[in-house]
Amino acid sequence: PFIQPPQVEWASGALAKGPLLRKSTRIRDLTGVFADESARQRLAGEHVVYDVEILATSPAEGELYTGVTHLYPGRVGGEYFMTRGHFHARREQGEVYFGLRGSGLLLLQNEQGQARLESVCAGSIHIIPGFTAHRLINTSSEVLSALAVWPGVAGHDYAALAKGFTLRVFEENQQIQVREVQND
């Protein structure tokens, strides 16, 4: 007699039982996203960098979306695999990320270009305020999966970050190296 809600398998981040929207983002989709564009072009274009699964729920004002991002391990010219990253089109709309598995970083950047990095691990909670761009970075050799909840009206603005974030994260000598970049 009870409604069976959608489920997330905590260990893997897999969503089940809901009507789901799925999107894969591949190396060939990420033109200009990594610092070393020629290194990106040398990689197999069909290689998947991240998969997103979203519960197909209402996008109306006041409603919330729930989704999982699975960001695979890898590097482009030493720079760790990462999501494209975005501001919400409705800039004031925030979001919450929950780390599920793997380890990495959540890069947050305000409209003034000030950036910070939060460690993501199983159980971490990330409050992304409004007016804050966000990008996941996988610094490990495992899949990084994170659950997110955000307003259905938030939308995405990728163009505002076409020049990139002000921090980039690389592996050098088996160490995580954060570099500040000048985008002007």
Residues that bind ligand 6PG (CB under 6 A): 25, 52, 67, 69, 83-86, 95, 134, 136, 148, 150, 154, 156
Residue 83 binding target from ligand 6PG, Ni ion, none, CB below 5 to 8 Å by type: ligand 6PG
* Residue 78 to residues 103, 175, 184, Cα–Cα distance (Å): 17, 11, 23
Question: Residue 124: which of Ni ion, ligand 6PG, none does it interact with, CB under 5 to 8 A by kind?
Answer: none
The residue ranges of DSSP E strands in 56-160, in sequence order, are 64-71, 75-76, 79-80, 95-101, 104-110, 115-120, 125-128, 132-138, 144-151
- Shortest distance, position 89 Cβ to ligand 6PG, whole Å: 10
- Considering the complex, what minimum distance in angstroms separates the CB of residue 46 from ligand 6PG? 17
Nearest residue to Ni ion, using CB?
Answer: 95
- Number of amino acids touching Ni ion (CB under 5 A): 1
Cβ proximity to ligand 6PG: between 153 and 174 the closer is: 153
Of residues 140 and 174, the one with the C-beta less far from ligand 6PG: 140
Q: Which does 67 bind (CB under 5 to 8 A by kind): ligand 6PG, Ni ion, none?
A: ligand 6PG
DSSP 37: H
Pick out residues in 64-103 that bind Ni ion (CB under 5 A): 95
d(CA 38, CA 55) in angstroms, rounded, equals: 36
Radius of gyration of the chain (CA): 16
Q: How far is the C-alpha of 53 from the C-alpha of 13, rounded, in Å?
A: 10
Chosen from ligand 6PG, Ni ion, none, partner binding at 69 (C-beta under 5 to 8 Å by type): ligand 6PG
Question: Sign (positive/negative) of CA torsion 41, 87, 50, 181?
Answer: positive
Take residue 53 and report the two structure tokens written for it.
């699964």
Cα(149)–Cα(171) distance, rounded to whole angstroms?
A: 30
Tell me which residues touch Ni ion (CB under 5 A): 95
